[in-house]
Structure 1
Amino acid sequence: MGTAEWREAPGESVAGRSVARRGLEAPDRDIRARGRAGKAGGEQQTYRTLWIEEPARRHPMPDPVRTAAVRAVLIIAVTLIQAMVAFLCAMADSWLAFPMVISSVASTVVATWAAVDVWVTRQVWNQRYGVVSEPSSTARALRRERRARRREERAALREQERIRRRGGAGQLSHP
């Protein structure tokens, strides 16, 4: 199913499209799949593709966050390798053990900073671009109730004021 067919059937699931595509293909790369009959009555040979490309709906992370995450993963990987080398040097009683342990401690600090940087970058990005400012339905309902209460209070005050202006001082017309 090409891009044009996929656009025509947007309601179809990813799994459904994959199964539909695999219908004509062989379950294994080495096995020929049966296709439509050719001119001479023989079968057309088709092979299963190695992978099926499907368009990504959206990136899982924004670019700055992804960059910080990749940087953090690389730094953490180097730190783990350094720690392992330091351990092996210590086990071999090498002179390199002490400098490696010191550099591993420094790398651990840098790796922690890198992990925190990913978190901070994500928070900053969400604060700048990711948050849609619209009140929740609960907040709207509470505001509605407060407005209604204020309206009722103002109406009651206006009524009291009107009675006072008439000179009745709040008394009934018939004693």
Structure 2
Amino acid sequence: MGTAELRETPETGAWVSTAARRGARSPDHGIPADTDPGIPEGREQEGWGTALDEERYEVPYHRPLWIEEPARRRRLPDPVRTAAVRAVLIIAVTLTQAVIAFLCTLAGSWLAFPMVLSSVAGTVVATWGVLDVWITRQVWNQRHGVVSDPSSTARALRRERRTARRQAGAAEQRQERIRRQGSAGQLSHP
């Protein structure tokens, strides 16, 4: 919204707030305000109120066109979004062809038959476009690893088991090496 500023007018020396210059209206709804908290007590009416003063000191209030809000869902990946836009355009053209074919059929125009054929072809292409979006999304998810909690937990368990197996194998190899070295240095039995 904004804050009220106090300024002293050069001619009269009276204190005037920017909210008062706007006609003492609420910036949100245009509702007249009863009092202006920005003007010091006892200075509400000093040297203020003529049309000339209002025009000279008017400060426009600029309300933003939109307010940024955090996204509820994440943005689609670029390849998926491209495929979705392509599919929507193909579907729009196919629907337009179907409407034209219907209207040409009602009018008895020679253009009806070619438009029906192109609508059938457009339906096949639109189906391909929708499948393309679905396949592109699945491929992107598979390549870029959308990890869910159960699979990541399973991965951690597998990693722990693999580490335990490696340690057990290393210990077994050490024991085997000790056994071989111990018998290699011995020439005869007592």
**TM-score normalized by the length of structure 1:** 0.54
**CA deviation map 1:95-152 (0-9, x unaligned):** 1100000000111111111111111111121122x3156843356558878999xxxx
* CA distance in structure 2 between the partners assigned to 1:48 and 1:32 by the alignment: 16
CA-based RMSD? 4.6
Structure 1 runs of 4+ aligned residues shifted over 3 Å read 32-42, 44-50, 54-59, 132-136, 138-148
% identical aligned pairs: 60
Amino acid at match of 1:76: I
Corresponding residue to 1:87 among 80, 102, 114: 102
Partner of 1:116: 131
Partner of 1:131: 145
* CA distance in structure 2 between the partners assigned to 1:41 and 1:72 by the alignment: 64
Point out where structure 2 has 5 or more consecutive residues left out of the alignment. 2-25, 46-58, 165-190
* Deviates most, 134-143 or 77-86: 134-143
* CA distance in structure 2 between the partners assigned to 1:54 and 1:36 by the alignment: 31
**CA deviation map 1:13-49 (0-9, x unaligned):** xxxxxxxxxxx862x5xx258596444649x985754
Structure holding more helix per residue: 1
* CA distance in structure 2 between the partners assigned to 1:79 and 1:69 by the alignment: 15
Corresponding residue to 2:77 among 62, 74, 77: 62
Point out where structure 1 has 5 or more consecutive residues left out of the alignment. 2-23, 149-175
**TM-score normalized by the length of structure 2:** 0.50
Distance 1:127 1:111, change over 3 A: same
Partner of 2:112: 97
How many residues of Structure 1 are paired with residues of Structure 2 in the alignment? 140
